[in-house]
A and B are shown apart, each in its own frame.
Chain A
Amino acid sequence: MYPPTRGGVRTAVFGAAGRFELPGETTFRPLLATAWALAGLSLAMFFAAVYSYQSLRGDFELIQRSRDFDGLRYQLFSLLKDAETGQRGFLLTHDPQYLAPYEAALAGIPVLLDRLSWAETSPDKERLAIEMRAALTAKLDEVEHVLKLDAASPESAMSHLRTGRGKRLMDRLRTIFEQMETLQADTMARLYARNARDARLTMGFMGTGVLLVILACVLVYLSQRREARIRQRLLVRAEDYAEELAEVNNSLTRANDELKIFAYVASHDLQEPLRSISGYVQLLLRRYEAQLDEKAVGYIGKSVAATRRMQELIDGLLLYTRIGTRELSPEFVSLNEVLAEVMANLAASAEKSNAVVAVEELPEVLGDRVQLRQLFQNLISNAIKFRSEASPEIRVSAVPDGSSGPETVQVRVQDNGIGIDPQFADRVFKVFQRLHARQDYPGTGIGLAICKRIVERHGGELWLESEPGRGSSFIFTLTPYSEQALKEAS
């Protein structure tokens, strides 16, 4: 009952521990990575937006300058026309009042020309401006020239006017003016188009940038929510595991407590009826032997033998259970001392069978003294019991063991007895399993099961090497004594 229960529970523990490796805990978070990428992209968008906004501002400046250019052109032309009209009026009337527009033009035109040079925005305009400046200067010079001639002789002024030079100069100016107008219209159209494009780009970049930022924020939010959920799930799962573990622990404690109760009940309640049977049967013999025949006496003898055997079985089972349930008290144990105690216990039976027990130098180990004594007692009494024709020769030795880790010793109890067929090697360690008839070799079949349990409780292994007819060796591992091993054990 006990071992399968424990096995089942242990599986559950391992199952829980196996699932402790949680898959949700990833270091790479795809949502967050995407959010970072989007944030980077949106930054680029904002730079692009800034760039196109600057371009847009450049456009506005150009448009402004173009407009100025246009305005200046009109002002220049109207000043000039005023000047020419004034000149004409003066020539006809010689009233100095008419010269006022001319003088205003003389004063205003250079200022306007200065401003015009700032408003030039293209090589074409620059060229036209130069032409216009030249034509203007020529025209003003012409007007001045006519006025000088007139001051000397109105006749000569008239005749100069008649040559048509003034008109030609004016026509030329008009042509330039018209060319400027065409150019201005083109420029404005081009600037407006570029302006619109830059505005669209700026808005586009800005909009996309904002959109990307929003998207990144959403992704960050989603990522965090996802992580929070995973964390929550992990937390819940961890709590589940803790609960599960506590439950397993509880059921283990309960099982252990029940086993202790069982052991106690077995020792007390199970033996009471047995003692009654044995007692009354023997009392029957004691009080009424004279009235019984030989057969009846024989039956009573068999009943008594059966109750004794039952008692042995119960005792063996009890011992086996106690070894599994009782707390170990690990301490410093000298195996040579233990062997001396065991040999003293077995002195009678060893002498009876002429057994020779050779004990080599044995190590000092960490273990429960009572259980280790039981272990050696069982192994050596087995070696004496399962003897061959020859008188028993038993040898107890120990070597440091490398196979089960550096911290163990290997102890060997070797005999020259009947040996054990390897196919039964596992069976001999099981409770109440026997290889021989009880008449040949008495016993309950629990001794080796107890040995195995003792060694396993000490964290070691017990196994068997044997050649039928030539003897067996029982080998087991134990922990050598050290302060550190003691500290770890307690």
Chain B
Amino acid sequence: MPIHVLMAEDNADDAELTHEALVDSKLAISLHHVTDGVEALAFLRKQPPYEKAQTPDLVLLDLNMPRKDGREVLRELRGDPALRHLPVVILTTSGADEDVEAAYELSANCYIQKPVDFEQFIHVVQAIEHFWFTVVKLPHGHPERA
């Protein structure tokens, strides 16, 4: 059974590079990419055009996106009984203390600043992968949805 990851990222390059970093993975990871917060929520709630979307095992969330930014997505997600269990990793360029604080305030599971260096970026992505899909135990679906 493949691992599903939803990536909300408006920057196509970043999305591609993340994808490239995951390519070498030994795990079967299915990466779904949306480009803003509205789409991300639609995906998670299986609203059109994502009626057939899989509920992901992990969400990689960028903070600064058009239409609806990562903070709002996180807030709605944490306020939604069907989605609040989802592990959310904030993956963003911002290293500002305010953003870090705000993210944890909204119950992000972790906050990672994207390194500029690609080698380091690969390490980060691999670390996420290793930690979330090998080390930790994730909930398998939600009781309400089961």
Residues of A whose CB lies within 8 Å of any CB of B are 263-264, 267-268, 271-272, 274-276, 278-283, 286, 304, 307-308, 311
Contact = CB atoms under 8 A, between A and B. Distances in A.
B64 interface: yes
B114 interface: yes
Main secondary structure of the interface of A (DSSP, over half): helix
B144 to A, nearest CB: 36
Interface string B1-34: 0000000000101100100100000000000000
A268 B14 contact: no
B93 A271 contact: yes
Nearest to B115: A275
Interface stretch (B43-51, B101-109, B116-124): B116-124
Nearest to A311: B116
Nearest to A315: B95
A225 to B, nearest CB: 59
Given A272-B11, A272-B93, A278 B64 contact: no
B96 interface: yes
Contacts, number: 57
B54 interface: no
Contacts of A311: 116-117
B92 to A, nearest CB: 8
A283 B117 contact: no
A282 B94 CA distance: 22
Given A272-B11, A272-B14, A283-B17, A278 B94 contact: no
A282 B96 contact: no
A177 B90 CA distance: 141
A264 B116 contact: no
B64 to A, nearest CB: 6
Contact of B116 (A268, A286, A308): A308
A307 B116 contact: yes
Nearest to A272: B11
A299 to B, nearest CB: 16
B107 to A, nearest CB: 23
Contact of A279 (B13, B92, B95, B96): B13
A324 to B, nearest CB: 15
A307 B114 CA distance: 14
Contacts of B95: 267
Task: Find the residue from A271, A274, A275, A307 having the highest chain B CB count within 10 A.
Answer: A275
A275 B64 contact: no
A280 B13 contact: yes
Task: Find the residue from B11, B95, B118, B119 having the highest chain A CB count within 10 A.
Answer: B118
B118 A271 contact: no
Given A267-B93, A268-B94, A283-B20, A276 B13 contact: yes
A337 B13 CA distance: 44
B93 A279 contact: no
Given A267-B94, A276-B13, A282 B118 contact: yes
B117 A278 contact: yes
A399 B30 CA distance: 64
Contacts of B96: 263-264, 267
A280 B20 CA distance: 10
B117 A282 contact: yes
Contacts of A268: 64, 92-94
B117 to A, nearest CB: 6
A267 B64 CA distance: 11
B8 to A, nearest CB: 15
